[in-house]
A and B are shown apart, each in its own frame.
Chain A
Amino acid sequence: KAGVTQTPRYLIKTRGQQVTLSCSPISGHRSVSWYQQTPGQGLQFLFEYFSETQRNKGNFPGRFSGRQFSNSRSEMNVSTLELGDSALYLCATTFDGTGSSYEQYFGPGTRLTVT
């Protein structure tokens, strides 16, 4: 079956702009988690969605938000971009995000550069 897909793969924005990233999970997967990866901070958890509800949130400012649609596709939005938001944004999906389905499948990521 097809893997996790993320669009776009690369993005260049300027400070103050906003951006929306998309993640389509593996068919049947209903839990989508988002991560930010930077050389300095590593892989940091942003939030997790299941059945169109945000169930879990990391320690990021309110400029970072997300949503999930009825087909389990998820989007994340970053408003008022800052230089420090430059990162690889990864989404990872599991069947339902609980203990019985613990293997996360990552997408290829969206490389965001803020200038």
Chain B
Amino acid sequence: GQQVMQIPQYQHVQEGEDFTTYCNSSTTLSNIQWYKQRPGGHPVFLIQLVKSGEVKKQKRLTFQFGEAKKNSSLHITATQTTDVGTYFCAERILQTSYDKVIFGPGTSLSVIP
């Protein structure tokens, strides 16, 4: 079935360093969603990308959808301790009248102050 993979599984960075997580699929993705889950919290929707090569920015976060729509990345510039958490990519599977969201395994980010 549909599956998205993420790398790395874990990432430890010094505060102020940049961070990137990658999401990959063997099949063409309809879209890609990104979520953030803080430790002890619940996933929070960040963004959805739909178009090939699409790039969107949210303050220090840059989201990119690959030209072939088989990969995506989330890049955080100058990490802060508030960026700590697990970042999930997900594909929203479009059905006739409803959607199903399939999540990747996530990348856990630790920021060392």
Q: Which residues of A come within 8 Å of B, CB atoms?
A: 31, 33, 35, 42-45, 48, 50, 55-56, 58, 90, 92, 97-99, 102-109
Among candidates A35, A58, A97, A109, residue contacting B99 with C-beta atoms closer than 8 Å: A97
**Chain B residues closer than 8 Å to A44, beta-carbon distance:** 103
Are A108 and B42 touching (Cβ within 8 A)?
Answer: yes
State which residues 98-113 of B face A: CB under 8 Å.
98-106
Interface flag for B92 (CB, 8 Å): yes
Among candidates B44, B100, B102, residue contacting A106 with C-beta atoms closer than 8 Å: B44
CA of A111 to CA of B94 in the docked complex: distance in angstroms? Answer: 30
Are A109 and B42 touching (Cβ within 8 A)?
Answer: yes
Are B102 and A45 touching (Cβ within 8 A)?
Answer: yes
Are A103 and B45 touching (Cβ within 8 A)?
Answer: yes
Q: List 30 A-B contacts (CB under 8 A).
A: A33-B101, A35-B103, A42-B103, A42-B106, A43-B103, A45-B100, A48-B98, A55-B97, A55-B98, A56-B100, A58-B100, A90-B43, A92-B101, A98-B97, A98-B99, A99-B99, A102-B31, A102-B33, A102-B48, A102-B92, A102-B99, A103-B45, A104-B43, A104-B45, A106-B42, A106-B43, A106-B44, A106-B45, A107-B42, A109-B42
**Chain A residues closer than 8 Å to B42, beta-carbon distance:** 90, 106-109
Known: A43-B88, A103-B45, A106-B43. A97 touches B98 (CB 8 A): yes
